[in-house]
Structure formats: C-alpha cells, structure tokens
C-alpha cells in the first residue's frame, strides 16, 4: 500500500533549483553593505584552516548547502573530511574541515551554521519520530508547515531523518479539508466528485475526516485516502477498521508527539503526519573553530 502514497518525487538538495538564490538572500541579510569587523581586522589575502564541529547528538543534514554558502563567497575554499548527510553526530564530531580565505570564511560562518543547524535539527527530530514507530508499519510524513522560502530544504531534511514527504505544495495532491467542506455545506460526495472531474488522473484525492460518519461518506464517495484528524485512539481504531482495504491509504494527524505517536501508529494507519518535525524542531548546535 505504501507504494501508492503519492505520485510526486521526494525533495532532494538537487531539486532545489533556487538554492543559489536562497543562499544569496541569506548572505545578504547578514552581510548587508559589508562585514565591518572582518574587513577592518583581517588582511584581504589572509588564509586559515578551521573546522565545523557538532555540539550535540543527532543526525547531520545540510553539508552541501553549507559548502555552497562558502563557495558563494569564494569558490577557492577547500573542504576535507566532510561527513555526508545522514551521518550520526555526537558532541565533538567534526562535520567538515575547510581551508581558504579568512575573510570569506568569517563572512559565511553564521549563514552556513544556520543552515546546518536548522536542517540537522529537523533530521534529528524526524528520526526520533521514525524510531518511535519502528515495527508498526506506519510511516512518518511531513506537512506544509515549513519556513517560507525553505520548504524544499526542510522537506529534504525530513527525508534524511528517515521520514517521507507529504505533498510538496498545493499543486501535487488533493487534500479536501474542513474549510473546503464548509464552503460546500459539508458535502463530501460532491467535493470528491468535483475533484475527480477537474483534476488530472495522477492526483490522489484525500479527504480529512473528524467523525466516523465522514469516514463512511469519504470511502463511499471514492476517495483514494482519508486523513483522520484529531481522533481519540478508540475512534481511530474504529475508523481504520471501517476503511482498511476500501481506500489506498489511511493517514492520521493532530495531537501527535513523541509520547503519543506509537499508540497512533498501532491503530493500523499507514501514515502519520507531524507538523512539529518542521515547525518546531530545535536546532542541532554546531560551531566553527579556528
């Protein structure tokens, strides 16, 4: 069943065609008209060797992004001993060593660390959720609750942590939510009919349900999947019993945290969407040491 989840490709760093633009914006907001401290103190041709070091346990993500930050400032900067995304970290782990123009390294330090820490934090929290449901058959998926402008990077970090990508945006899947239904006076059958009539055949149609009656209506309307939102565990189990084998996939969302996720997974759902893995992941601290 899992193979039928979505038709879109998952996010990878190579898919982020706007990455150079994203990096340029990030550097511009930090550098502005120039780095007064570095330019006042450091001679233009000064070079240095340094390393980025992890300060906590977790999952590494964002190595290529950090390299691109420094290369944006000086393409001659050299990297050695670089770990790969997905590598496990503990405090003191050397993530990468770099050598090159000191001014460029100092100017890019904070931006590179911001990307590394943010993406590694997402990968780390995702892995905690993935580990929590291990053996149940359920998979952890993300949501659209991402940082504006960083969605593809953050969804890539989810993949590095072992999660799966939900739809990337509004353009690659149909999810009929409560507000859509309210606009149609709650008519799920009509909503599914309109979606099927107007969307192309590769788009899966999923209906958000908060009651068992809505589950029955969505199944009978021919939805490809159902999203069981904020249901108590017993209602979740009942909904799964009613829908299993009659839709292609069953997803649960709402009230999901590391303390509740395994019990949700054990109800038999195929997917559990967790907004927290992108909107609330703490950073994984790192520092650059000369």
* Buried b or exposed e, range 54-72, using 16+ CB within 10 angstroms: bebebbbbbbbbbbbbbbb
- Return d(Cα 69, Cα 112) in angstroms, integer: 6
DSSP 243: H
Strand partners, 58: 89
pLDDT at position 7 over 50: no
How do residues 15-25 score in pLDDT, each as one tens digit? 555 899 999 99
Active-site amino acid positions: 110, 145, 177, 208, 229
Top-confidence residue, 124 or 8: 124
Angle at 118 between CA 34 and CA 286, to 5 degrees: 75
Residue 220 has pLDDT above 50, yes or no: yes
CA–CA dist 214, 209 (Å, integer): 5
Between CA 116 and CA 13, with CA 146 as vertex, the angle to 5 degrees is 50
- C-alpha span between 186 and 93 (Å, rounded): 54
Q: Between the CA of residue 73 and those of 31, 48, 62, 108, 145, what are the distances in Å?
A: 11, 15, 17, 7, 31
Average pLDDT, the chain: 94
β-pairing, 271-273 with 58-59?
A: unpaired
Query: pLDDT digit string (tens) for 234-281?
Result: 999 999 999 999 999 999 999 899 999 999 999 999 999 999 999 999
pLDDT on residue 18: 83
pLDDT tens digits, one per residue of 130-184: 999 999 999 999 999 999 999 999 999 999 999 999 999 999 999 999 999 999 9
């Amino acid at each position: 069943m899992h193979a039928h989840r979505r038709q879109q490709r998952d996010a990878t760093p190579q898919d982020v065609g706007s990455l150079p633009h994203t990096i340029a914006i990030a550097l511009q907001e930090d550098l502005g008209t120039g780095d007064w401290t570095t330019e006042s103190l450091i001679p233009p041709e000064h070079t240095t060797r340094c390393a980025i070091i992890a300060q906590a346990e977790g999952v590494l993500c964002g190595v290529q992004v950090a390299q691109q930050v420094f290369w944006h400032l000086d393409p001659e900067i050299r990297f050695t001993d670089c770990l790969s995304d997905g590598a496990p970290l503990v405090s003191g782990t050397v993530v990468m060593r770099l050598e090159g123009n000191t001014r460029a390294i100092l100017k890019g330090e904070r931006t590179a660390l911001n990307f590394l820490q943010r993406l590694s934090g997402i990968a780390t929290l995702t892995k905690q959720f993935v580990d929590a449901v291990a053996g149940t058959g359920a998979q952890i998926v993300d949501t659209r609750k991402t940082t504006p402008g960083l969605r593809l990077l953050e969804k890539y970090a989810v993949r590095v942590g072992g999660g799966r990508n939900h739809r990337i945006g509004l353009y690659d899947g149909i999810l009929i939510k409560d507000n859509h239904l309210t606009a149609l006076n709650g008519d799920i059958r009509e909503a599914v009919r309109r979606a099927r009539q107007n969307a192309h055949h590769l788009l899966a149609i999923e209906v958000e349900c908060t009651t068992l009656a809505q589950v029955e209506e969505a199944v009978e309307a021919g939805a490809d999947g159902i999203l069981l939102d904020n249901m108590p565990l017993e209602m979740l189990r009942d909904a799964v019993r009613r829908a299993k084998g009659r839709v292609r996939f069953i997803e649960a969302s709402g009230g999901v945290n590391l303390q509740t996720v395994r019990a949700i997974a054990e109800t038999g759902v195929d997917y559990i969407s967790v907004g927290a893995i992108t909107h609330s992941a703490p950073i994984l601290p790192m520092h650059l040491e000369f």
